[in-house]
Structure 1
Amino acid sequence: MKKIAVFSNMYPSAEHPTYGIFVKNQVELLRKSGVSVDVKAIDNPKSGKVQGLLKYGKWFASSLFYLLGNRRKLELTHSHYAFPTGVLSLLGKRMFKIPYIVTLHGGDIDKMAKKNAKIASMTKTILQEAAHVVTVGERLKQEVVENFGVAENAVTVMSMGVDQTVFHPMERAAVRAELGLQETQPVVLFIGNLIREKGVLELVQAFESIRKTVPNSSLHLIGSHKSAGFVEEVKHEITSRQLEGIHLEGTKTQKELVQWLAAADVLALPSYHEGFGLVALEAMASGTPVVASDVGGLTYLLADGAGVLVPPKDAEALAAGLLQVLSSETPANEEKRKKLVHEHSYEMIVNKLLKIYEDAAKTR
């Protein structure tokens, strides 16, 4: 394979090291497998109408110039997220006959495609003209086939994968000492953007119940503060409830995230919707139990006792699930967890992706 281009509206930078880290990890995995990859991506998560228009406009124009200059060198393009990223791949196909694949992560279908009829129509076109569509979860595949008219044999369910050389169990006392955590203190961990749709307010409310049962427990919220207004709302919720033990940790490097996952007693992922929930898989690879909303890809990932599933937007049920894990009332299905981690290992993922690339390139 000569060269591929990866387009993404999320990619990490020195200032924002975890923003779209899953895309960068896959790019590095492909490069290690001998694929020549160029990346055209947005590495700034800051929002705002004017700033958003400027950064997207600059990225879009730069990517079009890139396609023009590299049209004869490219075997195919790979867009992460259908809209607006997939528009670049669609233009590359229509102008230069470069085939493309699209990876759907959830928000592009659950939120973006539902904004208005025009975006929904464009999303449908992008998916139907792709050489192949990758969805990070089974529910997403069903929606793509049923609601967007894509042939089932043109869709593959495949997560972004987990690097077991990075995410693995560690000696808890040692990592806690390095992070400044008490060895015996129960630690509840959240990793994700601090936005309403991640269920952060419900988690804060659930933690109030947890503190009544486990007074010395702590809750650590790790992630980007994309919405300053919502972060202030979270802080107000904490203050108004006079809650102690909650820490807003901000963003962390991947090395630090590995330590936090290994140090935690449980990972909470109370999202309203989730295409797959990669951080849940990373927690399982780290040997940390997961309590998550029964939505999207999480429903499949944590089935059969691999984790604890609770209804979304339900602080009381979330508290009960977290207490269930903290009290060790129901041990996790370790065999299922290990099987899942193996199925989503980097080795398995890259082999599937390279086969998709090979088949897609033949359509040119």
Structure 2
Amino acid sequence: MYYTTTPWKGCDIALKAFSIAAKKIPNLRLVAFGSGHDNAFPHLLPEGTEYNKQPTQDQLKEFYSKCDAWLFSSRSEGFGLPILEAMACGTPVIGTPAGAAPELLAGGGGILVKPEDPEDMAKAIEQICQLSDAEWRAMSEIALETVINYTWEDATNLFEAALYTALERQAQLTNKR
């Protein structure tokens, strides 16, 4: 998980979910990284957490790749780039419906959970941990295939179209006045 004390990132949800799931799953481990901008933390993470402050891009790949699932617990998000980053490493994502999570996880490359619901996220952690190797690999492949469909060209085309739509709506509102 991405760890920060910024409330809208929902780390409290992910940490509570981990705590619930850890009671049922022996040897469950938490891997987290953060930007290092908050001063108050690694001591707030569960004992045994592997934490990296300000990892390099190569280290990020290692972090995502070593996980059976990536927890995305944001309450609000513009897009949610860590979802794509994890999926690009073949790591299924357990995510709240913030940003692009509903669209990105709809195909089966992860599990969408209820917002503000650590119990639901804990159930998803348990579900992924109980998958057979073949089932997990299938979910991992779906995650990877999902990411392959996202290119910079597609992103810029969609962004440009959204800007034109916003301009058209603004013009319509202005003309109505």
Taking structure 2 as the reference length, the TM-score comes to: 0.74
CA pair 271-245 structure 1, distance change in 2 beyond 3 A = same
Is residue 92–residue 140 contact of structure 2 (8 Å, CA) maintained in 1? no
Counterpart code for 1:298: A
Match of 2:124 among 309, 313, 321: 321
Task: Tell me which residue corresponds to 1:228.
Answer: 39
**Higher RCO (CA < 8 A, seq sep 6+):** 2
The corresponding residue for 1:207 is 18
Aligned length: 158
Residue 95 (structure 2) aligns with = 292
Q: Which runs of 4+ in 1 moved over 6 A?
A: none
SS for the counterpart of 2:30 is: strand
**Structure 1 or 2: more strand by fraction:** 1
Q: Does residue 304 in structure 1 map to residue 107 in structure 2?
A: yes
Q: % of aligned pairs identical?
A: 31
SS at structure 1 position matched to 2:124: helix
Whole-Å separation in 1 of the counterparts to 2:101 and 2:125: 16
Q: What's the CA shift string for 1:280-328, capped at 9, x where partnerless? A: 1111111111101022321111113231011122111111111111111
Q: Give 3-state SS (helix, strand or coil) of 2:70's partner.
A: strand
Counterpart position of 1:340 = 146
Does structure 1 retain, via aligned residues, the 8 Å contact 2:80–2:98? no
Residue 256 of structure 1 corresponds to which residue in structure 2?
59
For 1:215, the aligned partner's letter is: P
Structure 1 Cα separation of the partners of residues 5 and 58 of structure 2: 20
Q: Alignment partner of 2:17: what SS?
A: helix
Q: Distance between the aligned counterparts of 1:257 and 1:208, measured in 2?
A: 24
AA in 2 matched with 1:196:
P
Contact 2:3 2:11 survives alignment (8 Å): no
The corresponding residue for 1:28 is: none
SS at match of 2:31: strand
Determine if contact 2:21/2:126 at 8 Å carries over to the other structure.
Answer: yes
- Over 3 Å counting, the alpha-carbon distance change for 1:263 and 1:247 in structure 2 is closer
User: In structure 1, how many angstroms separate the alpha carbons of the residues matched to 2:70 and 2:140?
Assistant: 16
Q: Which protein is bigger by CA-based radius of gyration?
A: 1
Unpaired runs of 5+ residues, structure 2, are 165-177
Q: Deviations over 1:126-170 (max 9, x none)?
A: xxxxxxxxxxxxxxxxxxxxxxxxxxxxxxxxxxxxxxxxxxxxx
Residue matched to 1:172:
none
Pairwise CA distance, 1:226: 2.8
